[in-house]
Chains A and B, each alone.
Chain A
Amino acid sequence: MRATAALGPLTALAGVIWAIAQPYRVTLLDPRGESFWWLVVEPPLLVVVIGLLFYFVVLPGLLDDLEADDASS
């Protein structure tokens, strides 16, 4: 259960570390003069968003199902 719960936060953490290591890949930090695609597609932020989505959207239901399965067995 812990391993599943850690997937989202670890992914988001990887994105944050990437953003700190390569801040020039986060164009929102200095958006002046950047074109549409450079502002929309920012890889470190995408990784953070996917990690958070997994944590807040996928994990709660998955943990509920795991607990229900544990209780029934």
Chain B
Amino acid sequence: MTPPPEHVHWLFATGFLILGLALLAEAIVGSEIWRKRTWRAYLFPATFFGLGLCLWPVMTFFTNSTIHMLAHGAWAETMMLAGAVELALVRGKLQNPRWRLAMVLAFLVGGGAFLVHEQNGWLFQRSSFLHHLLGWLLVVSAIVPLARSFRPRSLALGGAFALVFVTMAVALYSDRDRAPVFGHISPEAGIPRR
């Protein structure tokens, strides 16, 4: 009953799409308007925390190797930590905006997790390419939550933060278990699907 890995990626893509849309809307209307309703204020942190929670079953049921288990576990922990910190910031339990640096940690650990648990090269097949792409996307774009922790009201940074999640959703939706990338697939990857 365990879903194929590509389905897991698509489900996470849906979570990241929700995050991206919520953050885009918040960036457009401003945090004051967005947070006028409590449930909207909690939407991003709660969904982010929930996605971290969902990484635990991924760690448990998709243990292809020790590095897979460690990568998914570390990623789950940092996503839950960053989601909990964002929840506490919204709730007012935490006041210092520097707590947002927990999101930088989640980005760096998430990017590292993508990179270390992909054992094949960029053009081995599509999922390999996307793991490398997503890993570097997260590592490089960690600069966005870093800058956001110092300028939390910046519209440009809010928009950029949202676009990172939308880009992640697009990349995760593009994932297939066995498919070519730019017309290339290694013979060792198996028979490609459509």
Tell me the A residues contacting B by CB distance below 8 Å: 3-4, 7-8, 11, 24, 36-38, 41, 43, 46-47, 50, 54, 58, 61-62, 65-66, 69
Contacts and interface: CB of A to CB of B under 8 A. Distances in A.
22 contacts: A4-B29, A7-B24, A7-B25, A11-B21, A37-B3, A37-B4, A38-B7, A41-B7, A43-B13, A46-B13, A46-B17, A47-B14, A47-B17, A47-B173, A50-B18, A50-B21, A58-B22, A58-B25, A62-B33, A65-B29, A65-B33, A65-B36
B153 interface: no
A65 B21 contact: no
Interface in B1-57: 1, 3-4, 7, 10-11, 13-14, 17-18, 21-22, 24-25, 28-29, 32-34, 36-37, 40
B interface, size bucket: 20 to 34
Given A47-B173, A50-B17, 15 more contacts: A7-B21, A24-B194, A37-B4, A41-B11, A43-B13, A47-B17, A50-B18, A50-B21, A54-B21, A58-B21, A58-B40, A62-B29, A62-B33, A65-B29, A66-B33
Nearest to A61: B37
Contacts of A41: 3, 7, 10-11
A10 B36 CA distance: 25
Contacts of B7: 37-38, 41
Given A4-B29, A24-B194, A47-B173, A65 B37 contact: yes
A36 B32 CA distance: 43
A24 B3 CA distance: 18
Contact of A66 (B11, B24, B29): B29
Contacts, number: 55
B33 A69 contact: yes
A11 B25 contact: no
Contacts of A36: 1
Nearest to B13: A43
Contacts of A69: 32-33
Contacts of B40: 58, 61-62
A11 B46 CA distance: 22
Contacts of A24: 194
A50 B33 contact: no
Contacts of A62: 25, 29, 33-34, 40
Contacts of A11: 17, 21
Closest 4 CB pairs of A and B: A37-B3, A41-B7, A65-B36, A46-B14
